[in-house]
Amino acid sequence: MSDRRGGRADEHPERGTALHLALVLLVAASGAVEAISFTALEHVFAGVMTSNLALLGMAIGRGQATGVTAAVLALTGFALGAAVTARLTRRSGDAGTCWPAPVMFSLAGEAVVLVAGAVIWAAVGGTPGQTARDALQFGAAATMGVQSAAMVAAGRAASPTTYLTGTLATYIVRGVGAGRPDRWAPAQLTALMVGAGISMLLLREARGWAGVLPAVLVVCAILTAAAPMIRMRRSSDGG
């Protein structure tokens, strides 16, 4: 990552590390959301639209109305979340070594929606009816749309957190082909699995609490990304 003056984010170790950790937490959150979306809602993904387009095509080919509805809800929710975030962050610019305020506000909005979803999920004991499942599916996809668009708006200070195919490919190409592996890529790939794994454990052992995990992870990501900047401001004010 590089800053707007052309320097490397690594020149600011505290901020660079904080943002990398925040990205890892967001990836874990997306893994947790995907586990709930695919296994406990309508067997579609909340953030991987390539797969959902394939699932939509298969559902149409099989004549499965339920599958078509679920895929359309996910695609629509994701698109709406991304579009709203794009609107909110269109003038944020590329801050390089920190996430602009509009990006942080967008992530805060994602957290609010995830908290609302967790409340609904807990209220129905983790076994929502069809209407609640549709609403939760739409909301989950919307949060992933927000997160994806927010990371795009963050520019060089971020990377994809809802789909990691490109991250894996880049890690292999740069690591094997160029000898410059990204040391944070394995952490993100692991975080995706850990988030999904813990979510599945909660679905099995404490189903009503499963919705809390993604919200907590996103809130932790926001606090992690904001902490260095808050400390810098306090130091400046104190100086």
Q: What is the pLDDT along the chain (239 residues), one digit of tens a residue?
A: 444 333 344 444 445 889 999 999 999 999 999 999 999 998 999 999 999 999 999 999 999 888 999 999 999 999 999 999 999 998 766 556 689 999 999 999 999 999 999 999 999 999 999 999 999 999 999 999 999 999 999 988 899 999 999 989 988 988 776 667 778 999 999 999 999 999 999 999 999 999 999 999 999 999 999 987 776 666 666 65
Q: Enter the tokens of residue 126.
A: 């983790």
Bridge partners for 2 per DSSP: 8
Long-range interactions of 6-11: CB distance < 8 A, separation 24+: 7/96, 9/96, 9/97, 9/156, 9/157
Distance between CA atoms of residues 238 and 108, nearest Å? 28
User: What domains can be seen in the chain, in order of their start residue?
Assistant: 12-227 (1.20.1250)
Q: Which of 92, 190, 212, 75 is nearest to 137 (CA)?
A: 75
The string of pLDDT tens digits covering residues 187-221 is 999 999 999 999 999 999 999 999 999 999 999 99
pTM (two decimals): 0.88
Sign of the four-CA dihedral 154, 157, 162, 166: positive
Predicted local confidence at residue 114, as pLDDT = 98
Q: Are 140 and 46 in contact (CB under 8 A)?
A: yes
Q: Are 67 and 58 in contact (CB under 8 A)?
A: yes
Contacts of 7 (CB under 8 A, 6+ apart): 96
Contacts of 107 (CB under 8 A, 6+ apart): 26, 99, 146, 147, 150, 218, 221, 222
Contacts of 102 (CB under 8 A, 6+ apart): 88, 89, 91, 92, 153
Q: Are 184 and 20 in contact (CB under 8 A)?
A: yes
Contacts of 2 (CB under 8 A, 6+ apart): 8, 9, 96, 156
The string of pLDDT tens digits covering residues 57-68 is 999 999 988 899
Predicted local confidence at residue 153, as pLDDT = 93
